[in-house]
Amino acid sequence: MSTTALNEKPPVRALNAVKAEPRIIDPARTFEALVQWIAEKSAAEKAPGLVMGISGTDSILTYLACARAFERLGKPARVLGIHFAGGPEKSGWVIDQVFPWLKEQAPAAALEIDVSVDGGDDQIRWGRLFSRAVKDTGKAASLAANYYFTVGTRNATEEHLGTYSQLSSAVSMMPIVDLFKSEVLDLCAFLGVPDVAMRKSCEIDCDCGRFEVAANYLREVDLVVMQRKGLLARSYVEKHMPADVRATVLEYVMEEESRNAFRKRTPYKPDSSLAVIRA
């Protein structure tokens, strides 16, 4: 594939926003910014609690930031993480290695295991998550005191490629949507997230939509996405990525952009009223 394809569908962005080199985040300050934003937004919107699924590095980072935020708000027990175990066995690397670590980091926050979802049906998992958000609210209870805001764990790479469930757009907040996947891993490394979670983020996982290219060239995908978004000069990508790898990654990125473009256009709505007035 010609490298001129790197300039196809150029974004509308001021020229001075295009950087000669990729941005390098400050992990400590970035995590603090996440925590503070979640705390401020939750307080402003009167969020009674926050709930999210726990499956990998994106959700581990989000959960920990939410837990820290609600500690500041004086409601540390009102953050809930749910792992969908996908079967009757309450075991696996998330439960055996990540849950104990999270309990050490945020002892007052809650964790649950849901074994009702068998297999990799992401739509059912989202349905269960939204259902759990209001499960504690009975007819006689105060809704404002018992339900949870559902939190999404979509990162900037997924946001650009469209590799996310439609149902994930119904969440109440998306704290890490401006962080690329490689930056999520940098933050997780800074926080000391268990190695198994870091390794799993670089493995093929069809259930979560991570196939060969995304698994094998995680940081390269981010560089091409940054270039496609107008955040990074094409010359950097060409200089720092072998031509064959660049072609493979670019093909993957453009294919995902095309395949998932509808997600950013939905829900489709009429351009004008379809109501026909009776004469």
Q: How far apart are CA 130 and CA 114, in angstroms?
A: 13
CATH topology for the 27-198 domain: Rossmann fold (3.40.50)
**Residue 70 · residue 50 · CB < 8 Å:** yes
- Phi/psi for 232 (5° steps) reads -145, 140
**The two three-digit tokens of residue 177, written as one number:** 């949507």
Give the mean model confidence (pLDDT) for residues 194-206. Answer: 84
Q: What is the mean pLDDT of the chain?
A: 89
Q: How far apart are CA 212 and CA 224, in angstroms?
A: 16
pLDDT in tens, 221-270: 999 999 999 999 999 999 999 999 999 999 999 999 999 999 999 999 99
**Residue 236 · residue 204 · CB < 8 Å:** no
Query: Angle, nearest 10°, between helix axes 181-191 and 27-44?
Result: 100
Q: Given pLDDT bands bounded at 50, 70 and 90, which one contains residue 103?
A: very high
Give the mean model confidence (pLDDT) for residues 153-167. Answer: 95
Q: What was the pLDDT predicted at 2?
A: 44
**The two three-digit tokens of residue 179, written as one number:** 């962080």
Least confident of 78-87, 159-168, 233-242: 78-87
Q: How far apart are CA 227 and CA 7, in angstroms?
A: 9
Q: Given pLDDT bands bounded at 50, 70 and 90, which one contains residue 4?
A: very low
pLDDT in tens, 14-58: 445 789 999 999 999 999 999 999 999 999 999 999 999 999 999
| Domain boundaries along the sequence of the chain | 27-198, 211-263
Q: What was the pLDDT predicted at 184?
A: 98
Q: What was the pLDDT predicted at 142?
A: 55
Q: What was the pLDDT predicted at 207?
A: 57
Is the confidence at residue 198, as pLDDT, over 50? yes
Q: Given pLDDT bands bounded at 50, 70 and 90, which one contains residue 74?
A: very high
SS (H, E, C) the chain: CCHHHHHCCCCCCCHHHCECCCCCCCHHHHHHHHHHHHHHHHHHCCCCCEEEECCCHHHHHHHHHHHHHHHHCCCHHHEEEEEECCCCCCCCHHHHHHHHHHHHHCCCCEEEEECCCCCCCHHHHHHHHHHHHCCCCCCCCCHHHHCCEEECCCCHHHHHHCCCCHHHHHCCECCCCCCCHHHHHHHHHHHCCCHHHHHHCCCCEHHHCECHHHHHCHHHHHHHHHHHCCCECHHHHHHHCCHHHHHHHHHHHHHHHHHCHHHHHCCCCCCCCCCCCCC
Handedness of CA 230, 269, 47, 167 (dihedral sign): negative
Handedness of CA 122, 124, 125, 126 (dihedral sign): positive
Q: What was the pLDDT predicted at 122?
A: 86
Q: How far apart are CA 91 and CA 190, in angstroms?
A: 26
Phi-psi region of 52 (alpha: psi -120 to 50; beta: other; left: phi over 0): beta
